[in-house]
Amino acid sequence: MSELFDTPRKPESPPVTNGPVVVPIDEAVSQHLSQVYWDWRAAFDHDLQASPFQHADFVLSELATGRTASRLDAVLVREGTDKGPSAFGILVPKTIRTSQAGGIGPGWALQGLRLAGGRFLGKDGSWQLQYRMLQCAVRHAINVGADFLLIEDLDETSLLFQTVQDRVAHGCQVFATHDFQPRRYIDFPATEAEYWSSFSSRSLSKFRRNLKKFGETRLERVTEIEQIPDFLRAAHEISRQSWQSRQFGLRIRNDDAELHQLSVLAHHGMLRSYLWWIEGKPAAFAICNQNAGCFRYEEIAYCAEFGQFSPGRTMLQQIVEDLLRHNSPKSLDFGGGDAEYKQQFANRESRSGTVWLVPPTWRANWSLTYLKACRKVRSTVRNLIKQSGLGTRARQWIRSTGATASTTHDTDEATAASPISKQSSSTQSRIGELP
| Residue 100 vs residue 435, higher pLDDT | 100
Cα–Cα distance between 147 and 365 in angstroms, integer?
A: 9
* Sequence-ordered list of residues with C-beta below 8 angstroms from that of 60, at least 6 positions apart, any chain: 25, 29, 30
**Res 69 pLDDT > 80:** no
Query: How high is the pLDDT of residue 67?
Result: 61
Determine the CATH number of domain 189-329: 3.40.630.30
Percent of the chain clearing pLDDT 90 (strictly above): 59
**Res 422 pLDDT > 60:** no
Rg, the chain, Cα only: 22
Quote the Cα angle for 51-121-26, to 5°.
95
Query: How high is the pLDDT of residue 426?
Result: 38
- Average pLDDT over the chain, rounded to whole? 84
Q: What is the pLDDT of residues 133-179, one digit of tens each?
A: 999 999 999 999 999 999 999 999 999 999 999 988 889 999 987 88
SS3 call for 69 = coil
Q: What is the domain partition of the chain in residue ranges? A: 2-182+352-377, 189-329
**Res 20 pLDDT > 90:** yes
Query: How high is the pLDDT of residue 414?
Result: 30
Same CATH topology for 2-182+352-377 and 189-329?
yes
Alpha helices in 15-148 (DSSP H): 27-30, 35-46, 56-65, 127-143
CA 155 to chain centre: 13
Q: pLDDT band at residue 60, thresholds of 50, 70 and 90?
A: very high
pTM: 0.83
Q: What is the pLDDT of residues 227-278, one digit of tens each?
A: 999 999 999 999 988 877 777 777 889 999 999 999 999 999 999 999 999 9
Q: For domain 2-182+352-377, which CATH number applies: 3.40.630.30, 3.40.50.620, 1.10.4160.10, 3.40.50.300?
A: 3.40.630.30
Alpha helices in 25-111 (DSSP H): 27-30, 35-46, 56-65
**Res 3 pLDDT > 50:** no
Neighbours of 286 (CB within 10 A): 23
Query: How high is the pLDDT of residue 139?
Result: 95
Percent of the chain clearing pLDDT 70 (strictly above): 83
* Sequence-ordered list of residues with C-beta below 8 angstroms from that of 130, at least 6 positions apart, any chain: 120, 159, 160, 162, 163
The backbone torsions φ and ψ at residue 141, rounded to the nearest 5 degrees and listed phi first, read -60, -40
